[in-house]
Structure 1
Amino acid sequence: MTQSETSKGTGSAEDYPDGSVGRYVRERWGQTPASGIPAQKPDEPATGRHSLTPPGGVEEVPASPAPRPAVRWVDPAAVAAQQAQRARSEQANGQAEGADLASARLLRKVKRPPQSGWRRAIYLMSGRMINPGESPADIRRRELTARVNHPLLGCHKIAMLSLKGGVGKTTVTATLGGTLASLRGDRVVAVDANPDRGTLSQKIPLETSATVRHLLRDAQRVRRYADVRAYTSQGPSRLEVLASEQDPAVSEAFSEEDYRRTVNLLEHFYNIVLTDCGTGLMHSAMYGVLGLADQLIIVSSGSIDGARSASATMDWLDAHGHGDLVANAVAVINSVHRRSGSVDLDRVAEHFAARCRAVVRIPFDEHLEEGAEIDLDRLAPATRDALLELAAVVADAFEAGA
């Protein structure tokens, strides 16, 4: 036996100068990896069902032989490493599953107690012995609350816009901010950027007469949260408000640069900054608001002129390069009057839904109609549910890595 015959089938891929890896695989293991058909030995007659020569001795040549599939060689070491990694992953999953099963065996599953309605009454009257479980409304509130508490790293800036006055934009700012502050554990502040003597500070108990102008004046001395807290007022919901200058002549000088300096200072101490903008879009501070905003909330009333003004606001934003903010905006249809007349609010909602990310309707509320300080506990249940939905929709846009 010659040396070449002795080494056949035991050589390496380097022994084939033509680079035929498929030939090396066939001679090394005796079959093609793709089809599993045994390879023909060079000195064996080509017979059998895989042969091209029939028993009669006449060779049959196929008219169009099927193309041979490409042979892919896989490093055995890589396969072994993959299998070891898969085994470790399955072992870890098995341990975690075992831990869960152990907890399930040790702890009984208990239904959550009802929070409202007749279920709550039965639960309390029975001395907490009869638990009918949560109602569908309770389950929805719990799910919305979980969305409101979406993780947020950094500072998320929300601008409240409306071209028309009297639609309840400031009220929506205060109630949304209060809902977020009462349900989340981070800090929420609302800035009054209305150049025409804003009323945001009147929605919560006033603790200080300081305004945004005083904060900018003393910005160099603000180092801690306790320092900036001296310039804000805080309501029962934990929402803080930074008031605007009450003198219209002075507040008109609140420029884009002033707004940017204010927000750059506040974002070091707060996770959510809401800005209650004025009704105009051309004053200087508005350029700073739109330049820094992560999300817009466009407020409309249930009237036709209110809806037209809100739609005109979107048109102006689209025309001035803020189409991305409009697409991610939330439209709020705020019922500032007890009845909307013959206006079809469903059609109004459909119009806004085609242009922005979500639409939320807030019903009329007698407590909000007073125009005084807002107490969330005095709101009607339907209003609180609508505000909870609004807060959840807003929180859906939070980025955990922002």
Structure 2
Amino acid sequence: MPDENRPIGEPTSLDDLAPGELDEVEARAAALLEQIAAQRTARQIHTATSPADDTTDAFEVPPPAAPVRRLAPPPWQMHSPIGSREFAERFELDEPEPQRPAAEPVPEPPTGLIPIPPLPPRPAPLPPPPPPPLPPLPFPPPGFMPPLAPPPVGMAPPPQYSAVPPSLDDAGIINRTRSAPHSGWRRAVHLASAGRLNPGESRKEREREDLLSQIRQPIAGDFRIAVLSIKGGVGKTTTTLGLGSALSMMRHDRVIAVDANPDRGTLAERVRDASSQSTVRDLLSDPDIQRYADVRAHTRMAGSRLEVLASEQEPAVSEVFGESDYRRTISILRRYYNIILTDCGTGIMHSAMAGVLDLAHAIVLVSSPAIDAARSASATLDWLMQHGHSALVREAHVVLSASRPGSAKLKLDKVYEHFEARCRSVHMIPFDPHLAEGADVDFDLLDPATLQAYLELAAAVAEKFPRLRGAPQYR
């Protein structure tokens, strides 16, 4: 029996132990070793009988090594008779633990294969891009103050201003449509389809619209045109009526033609209106000219809205009509009319011709398509240049008026080249039966070629209308 008076844990020599104590210690050690061996055997059996993971590779697992049995130390190596727990702690033995589910065995790679190196670590994700900068706030117009408080009920909200206002392009607002054709098969198709099919205007119609646009150019003040010729019977008065009618019909302002022929001019006789028998002398002697109606009482109006101021029919009185009288007449008419045409006489040395040429903005020189008439017209241009009117010669418009059938078919290439080199333009007026009657010019009765020729002449004269702006209006 152990000594009860000996303190526990104090080392004891083998000589101090009784024979019964040694047997007891040896028996306890043997029982503990058997318990440890049985525990290890149970673990090995559990590991061997556990099912392998279906997802793992079928590598051959080597059999577990045989358990190594540790022999109990001899009794003489024990210092004191301590309990089984103290003995296990002294020899670092594992105490029996409750059974736990065995971990799945990790298969080992087969021998002879090179192990795959581990993958490098993934790079860190890039930081997200910074958000786009906010657009700058639109600046309000100068003088705009935002409201300090919300508007009361019933009041319209304050206006909102944007940085770029929307465009007010005509193409996005106006529904542009083709102009309806006025003649030919295009007009027939347009009428037959009740306007659903619109082939548009033809090339000739577009060219005509261009002519009308040029004729309708605005005028600053009044524009004065002198129609002259030193040879009678070439169509000077007819050209005055035709040109004046084209301008008055295609424009919306007032156009008047003055008969300044001292040899009993026939301009007024070509107009059907007989409401007034006044002449230029009556206009000059009227002291009550204050408005347009006062002048209209002395003029006649053609069907084209062209007004005509007749010349004096008495040869003696008409001869007295000189430069000063003509200037007085123009000073009255220019206040009420935008375009003034003057039908001059054949006498270029007449006293009124000095005032006519001095006040004219453009001249129209009329001739016939014949060699002798063309030579007379060229001599007229020479005389004008010699007397200080070279500017009028450069801006002159030469008209070759055919007074009989077939005269316009002559080969006048040399005539055209001669006048085109000296003047602004050259125009051929073909023979027309309506003009040969010597009556009022009715554009509805003219041949299309004659009408086109007068429109081209009017457009050529109107080309100078915009250039007149800023120039002296009266000399």
TM-score calculated relative to the size of structure 1: 0.73
Q: Name the CA distance, whole Å, in 1 between partners of 2:413 and 2:188.
A: 35
Alignment of 1:22-101 (within 5 A): 98-100=167-169
SS in structure 2 at match of 1:359? strand
Highest CA radius of gyration, 1 or 2? 2
Q: What is the letter of the counterpart of residue 331 of structure 1?
A: V
> CA RMSD, aligned part only?
1.5
Structure 2 match to 1:189: 256
Q: Name the CA distance, whole Å, in 2 between partners of 1:342 and 1:325.
A: 29
User: In the TM superposition, what is the alpha-carbon distance from 1:134 to its structure 2 partner?
Assistant: 0.7
Give CA-to-partner distance per residue, 1:289-331, whole Å, 9 cap, x none.
0111111010111111211111111011011111111001111
Give CA-to-partner distance per residue, 1:121-178, whole Å, 9 cap, x none.
2222222222111111100000000000111021111000111111101001011101
Structure 1 match to 2:364: 297
Q: Name the CA distance, whole Å, in 2 between partners of 1:272 and 1:313.
A: 24
Q: Name the CA distance, whole Å, in 1 between partners of 2:414 and 2:188.
A: 39
Is the CA contact 1:154–1:401 (under 8 Å) kept in the aligned structure 2? Answer: no
Q: Quick one: percent identity of the two aligned structures?
A: 55
Equivalent residue for 2:277, pick from 201, 209, 215: 209
2:315 is aligned with 1:226: no
Q: Name the CA distance, whole Å, in 2 between partners of 1:154 and 1:341.
A: 37
Structure 2 match to 1:316: 383
Equivalent residue for 2:462, pick from 387, 391, 395: 395
Alignment of 1:2-401 (within 5 A): 98-100=167-169, 103-205=170-272, 206-218=274-286, 220-340=287-407, 343-398=410-465, 399-401=468-470
Structure 1 match to 2:87: none
User: In the TM superposition, what is the alpha-carbon distance from 1:343 to its structure 2 partner?
Assistant: 3.2
Q: Name the CA distance, whole Å, in 1 between partners of 2:380 and 2:243.
A: 21
Change (3 A) 1:341 1:119: closer
Aligned residues: 305
Give CA-to-partner distance per residue, 1:211-268, whole Å, 9 cap, x none.
00111111x3101000000000011111000000111121111111111110111101
SS in structure 2 at match of 1:151? coil
TM-score calculated relative to the size of structure 2: 0.62
Q: Which runs of 5+ in 2 are unaligned?
A: 1-163
Q: Which has the higher contact order (CA 8 A, sep 6+)?
A: 1
Q: Name the CA distance, whole Å, in 1 between partners of 2:408 and 2:459.
A: 29
Structure 2 match to 1:7: none
Is the CA contact 1:152–1:401 (under 8 Å) kept in the aligned structure 2? Answer: no
Is the CA contact 2:263–2:315 (under 8 Å) kept in the aligned structure 1? Answer: yes
Q: Name the CA distance, whole Å, in 1 between partners of 2:426 and 2:408.
A: 20
Is the CA contact 1:151–1:400 (under 8 Å) kept in the aligned structure 2? Answer: no
Structure 2 match to 1:32: none
Is the CA contact 1:148–1:391 (under 8 Å) kept in the aligned structure 2? Answer: yes
Structure 2 match to 1:42: none
Q: Name the CA distance, whole Å, in 1 between partners of 2:415 and 2:185.
A: 35
Is the CA contact 1:159–1:289 (under 8 Å) kept in the aligned structure 2? Answer: yes
Q: Name the CA distance, whole Å, in 2 between partners of 1:124 and 1:283.
A: 57
SS in structure 1 at match of 2:407? coil
Q: Which runs of 5+ in 1 are unaligned?
A: 1-93
Q: Name the CA distance, whole Å, in 2 between partners of 1:341 and 1:148.
A: 25
Q: Name the CA distance, whole Å, in 1 between partners of 2:437 and 2:243.
A: 17
Q: Name the CA distance, whole Å, in 1 between partners of 2:426 and 2:235.
A: 16
Q: Name the CA distance, whole Å, in 2 between partners of 1:251 and 1:259.
A: 12
Give CA-to-partner distance per residue, 1:162-197, whole Å, 9 cap, x none.
111111010010111011011111110000000001
